[in-house]
Structure 1
Amino acid sequence: MKSKKTIALIALLILVISGAAFLYQRLGAGIRGEGPSVIPASSAPAEGQDGESSETEEVRTPLPGTLSFTDPDGSTITLDELRGKPLVLNFWATWCGYCRKEMPDFLEVYQEYRESVQFVMLNVGETREAASDFLAKNGWEDLPVYYDDLNLQMARAFGASGLPMTFFIDSEGYLAAYEPGMTTAERLRTGIGMILPAAEPKTADGASASQEVVNPSWCTMKPVYTKIDPENAKNLIDEAVESESFFLLDVRTEAEYQEKHIPGAVLIPVDELSERAEREFPDQRSLILVYCRSGRRSEQAARMLVEMGYNHVYDFGGINDWPYETVSGSEAGD
């Protein structure tokens, strides 16, 4: 009996880790439509007082309320049951190093907003015993932990292509923003400000958190230019390395690329990007991480891709600031 349970758990983990790209592209489409950028609103004719169409109005579709998971006692909870109050939804696992790093920040912000915002720390692919023992050992048992153990409904639907991932959902059930990768207390407060405007916190100098964080490493549900540091970029690369929708883009010259580049990088010089992007990156939902030598061309390229409609683009600057592995052209094995 134990061996069957072990095999089932291993299968779940393999599904999360190896099947992330499939879940995002196929099953996630049930919620995301053509991609995250279409979720906030779409245009539809608005009826005038005489019943005839007049101006267009924004039409939004809430997340499917039948999506479900379980609480620590094993009872089923649906998203429908959580409507009426803003929700912060986090996907995590005990084996995820970046999940562990962000737990203290989640505990801090949860204790601050627990009366006005719901938090669901959704454990993926592990037993209740493993998760609860881990939380107790680290002093995080106050966190509201739940389990995605109903055939991974939530991970599949949200396209949780890497852990951790955090989603910000308003009180009516609409997805407002999400952050792939590790978050911080400051960025959690910024995301909460999007779903609970009255609670938007202030920084030490009195500025709002959203003003303070100019380029947070989370995506609103429309194409935006986003700058991240090399550590966050390495985290995203490690989590998405098996994804068919993952691209590491070098926008320097051929000579610079051959001299030194990051393993797995695709070379498209910035002056060729406008002509080649659609052909090289046909899916605008693809994760694209961009770098150059010092950061100037990577910003130019990332902004260009955003203008073209790509909604998962990250500029992590120059290879001069990259502290991890690099290879030369002869060693790349491209």
Structure 2
Amino acid sequence: MDGGRYKLYKRIFSLVLLLVLVGIVIANVLQNRAADNAAEEEEAVLVDDGSSSQGAAIAPAESAGVEPGEPAPDFELETLEGETFKLSDLQGKKVILNFWYSWCPPCIEEMPEIQEFYEDYQDEVEVVAVNMTKHENQLSDVGDFIDEHEHTFTVPLDREDTLSEPYVVYAAPTTYFIGTDGNIQQPRRIGPMDYEFMEEMVQGMD
């Protein structure tokens, strides 16, 4: 074998070896990325929205909220009318506890459904729509919204965002379903509700 051909073979061999090494590096990078993605998926939980995917969201596991069977954290807030509201005063009644603000499109979408449901079931179920007042442009927007749409359920004002942490409210609307024993009795709902959904949830509570 002459020297020129030997050098050519040597260059080809070096190039092939380099390509093999690059391929190994790329394969390792892709494998590590796949492992990282799998780990992230294991750390996430699908928030149960009841019977459909409407309003469902992926949240970190630590954001799963107050689980069914756990007591609903008690709180005391001033209502839109200036009265004092305390959640534990409603023990013995079923409660739909909703978190909302006035410029939130899904909140606006579900409010007529909540009002209609409340008018039909108010003897059995108390609707408490906690306004996340800290996220409003101005306080008067809350009263204007409630008056314009003639909503009659209780509207406590969370002016300092004190309930976002205990109820793990990271999106609006968020709704909890509290039984007569003061415990959460259904998975929380993230996203707008309709009349039939609320009826189904309440019928499954005691």
Shorter-chain TM-score range: 0.5 to 0.7
Q: Where does 1:1-334 land on structure 2 (aligned, <5 Å)?
A: 25=62, 32=66, 36=67, 39-40=68-69, 61-65=70-74, 67-125=75-133, 126=136, 127-137=138-148, 139-149=149-159, 151-177=160-186, 178-196=188-206
- Specify whether residues 128 and 101 from structure 1 end up closer, same or farther in structure 2 by C-alpha distance, changes over 3 A only: same
Deviation at 1:68, TM superposition (A): 2.4
Q: What secondary structure sits across from 1:105 in the alignment?
A: helix
Residue segments in structure 2 that go unaligned for 5+ positions in a row: 1-58
Verify the 8 A CA contact 1:148 1:155 in the aligned structure 2: no
State the Cα distance separating 1:179 from its structure 2 match: 1.0
Q: Rg larger in 1 or in 2?
A: 2
Contact 1:68 1:153 survives alignment (8 Å):
no
SS at match of 1:191: helix
In the TM superposition, what is the alpha-carbon distance from 1:128 to its structure 2 partner?
4.1
* Conservation of the 8 A alpha-carbon contact between 2:173 and 2:190: yes
RCO comparison, higher one (Cα < 8 Å, 6+):
2
Aligned-CA RMSD value: 2.3
Shift of 1:171: 1.0
Amino acid at match of 2:157: Y
Kindly provide the amino acid, as one letter, of the partner of residue 144 in structure 1.
T
C-alpha separation in 2, matches of 1:134 and 1:73: 14
Q: Secondary structure at the match of 1:132?
A: helix
Kept after mapping to 1: 8 A contact 2:73/2:166: no
TM-superposed deviation, 1:153? 2.1
TM-score, length-scaled by structure 1: 0.40
- Aligned equivalent of 2:26: none
TM-aligned CA distance change 1:185 to 1:100, over 3 Å = same
Tell me which amino acid in the other structure corresponds to 1:193.
Q
In structure 2, relative to structure 1, the CA distance for the partners of 1:132 and 1:114 (3 Å cut) is same
Aligned-pair CA distance for 1:140 = 2.9
Q: Which amino acid aligns with 1:123?
A: N
CA-CA distance at 1:73 after TM superposition:
3.2
Measured after TM superposition, the shift of residue 148 of structure 1 is: 1.4
The share of aligned pairs that are identical, in percent, is: 26
Whole-angstrom CA distance in 2 between matches of 1:144 and 1:117: 12
Are the counterparts in 2 of residues 132 and 141 from structure 1 also a CA contact under 8 Å? no
TM-score (norm 2): 0.62
AA partner of residue 129 (structure 1): S
Give structure 1 stretches of 5+ with no counterpart. Answer: 1-20, 41-60, 197-334
- Cα distance change on mapping 1:64 and 1:91 into 2, 3 Å: closer
Structure 2 vs 1, CA of residues 74 and 156 (structure 1 numbering), >3 Å: closer, same or farther? farther
